[in-house]
Amino acid sequence: MTSLGGGLFYFLTKSTNHNYLKLSLAFSGAYLFSVSIVHLIPATYQSGGITVGYYILGGFFLQLILEYFSEGIEHGHIHIHQSKNPTIPISLMLGLCIHSFMEGMPLSSHFDHQHHHESFFRGIVLHHIPVAFALTSMLAGSGLKNRTVVVLLLIFSLMTPSGAWFSSILGDLDLFNIQNYYPNIMGIVVGIFLHISTTILFETGSDHKYNRNKILVIILGATAALLL
């Protein structure tokens, strides 16, 4: 439930300065990219063979489609739409929730890949905290009532556990050996990770330059992925 905590933290700070948000996203983006390259991609190819590359590519472009709906909030793009009668951004929530649900699917207990499960789980946690903060900031800034914002935040925070639960249910039903599909599912999620992380890392400021703080945070994020 770290996503819920990250979102609720907005109500404590009421911050309109998004510099810390961008730096935390840069850290998580560097961590996700490094974990994907060093741990997830080699392990997924080892268990799934060369065809895994198609699923990684598919996941990369799937995230591109999802961001058409989510407006890129996964990597810190906050678009506040103020109106006299604010409405729930259904398309944004749909894109973000599908993204989060799919990330949770490889976490099922039916997939026995403990070595890189821990790195994978940490990557999700580190990424979802700033995303939840950005989501809450956008929803609250759009004029929605706090109660509505918290409900939407709760829905988002439940998506990753729901993905893991869904995979577990499929495995318990014994309709097919879901563990055989682990490399395919993980390949799609790795593709999603690569799209998000590279977008975060390659984005620069308005002057098209990286600032010193972002470079330092990126180095720290990559180092953390290698050490943990």
Mind giving me the DSSP string for 143-208? Answer: T--HHHHHHHHHHHHHHHHHHHHHHHHHHHHTSS-GGGGHHHHHHHHHHHHHHHHHHHHH---TTS
Half-sphere exposure at residue 193, Cβ-oriented, CA atoms within 13 angstroms: 31
> Domain segments of the chain: what residues?
23-76+96-227
Amino acid 62: pLDDT: 95
Q: What pLDDT score was predicted for residue 37?
A: 93
128 within 8 A of 3, measured Cβ to Cβ: yes
Phi, psi at residue 209, to the nearest 5°?
-130, 145
- Tell me the pLDDT tens digit for each residue of 105-132: 888 766 655 556 778 888 888 888 888 8
CA 182 from centroid of its chain's CA atoms? 19
pLDDT at site 108: 77
Report pLDDT for 127. Answer: 86
pTM of the model: 0.86
Using an 8 Å Cβ cutoff, are 192 and 61 in contact? no
Q: Which residues of the chain have pLDDT under 50?
A: none
